[in-house]
Amino acid sequence: MAKLLTDSEFQRFSELQQKQSSFTITPEEADELRDIVAHAQKRRDDRAAAMQSIETFIQQFDISPDELFSPEQIGEAARTYGLIPAAKKERVLPPSFTFNGKPYQWTTRALPDDIRVPLFDAFKAGQSVKPFIATLKDASRCAMTIARLERETGAVYAQPWLEELAVTRAQVDEAATKLAA
């Protein structure tokens, strides 16, 4: 019912329904309630007729779903209605660092200078950044961290340091393409 009425109509409908349930509704209010319900039913009927017309035109002109909706919309609808399993979206956490016992997350904002300067200096100097990284066991986050550092500094992380983090160059390159997107 709420979708068929405006906010003010639905609020009034709720008030009148409350009065009706407590037997304090006047005959004029009962008429108003019937009018609101009739108005909602007419809207429902109009919507049903419009949907029927749309379905008829889709069949008549042999319109395929991919002409009407994007693949993402079709996939989302299929997940919503249980036609395909609702796969969890891959959640990528931002790089995390520790420096002087203080944790930092590298979100879309820039890192604070108290960690940014020593981290970037070490990275550009070709040193290991392993002591800075808080999530060493998460290879995908390590790869994302290195890819982001390479993008921000323009330097390339040395292969021995990648091995130290148990990350391959392919993982860093894949993370870099995700960053670009």
pLDDT value of residue 139: 84
Query: pLDDT for 62-100, tens place per residue?
Result: 888 778 888 888 888 888 887 777 665 556 677 788 888
**Residue 75 in contact with residue 84, Cβ under 8 Å?**
yes
Q: What is the DSSP letter of 168?
A: -
Structure tokens at 117: 């300067």
**Residue 152 in contact with residue 111, Cβ under 8 Å?**
no
Query: pLDDT for 139-170, tens place per residue?
Result: 888 888 899 889 888 889 888 888 888 889 99
Tell the burial category of 34 from Cβ atoms under 10 Å away from its Cβ (0-12, 13-18, 19+): exposed
Is this prediction's pTM over 0.85?
Answer: no
pLDDT value of residue 169: 92
- How many other CB atoms are found less than 10 A from the CB of residue 137? 7
Query: pLDDT for 11-51, tens place per residue?
Result: 999 999 999 999 999 999 999 999 999 999 999 999 999 99
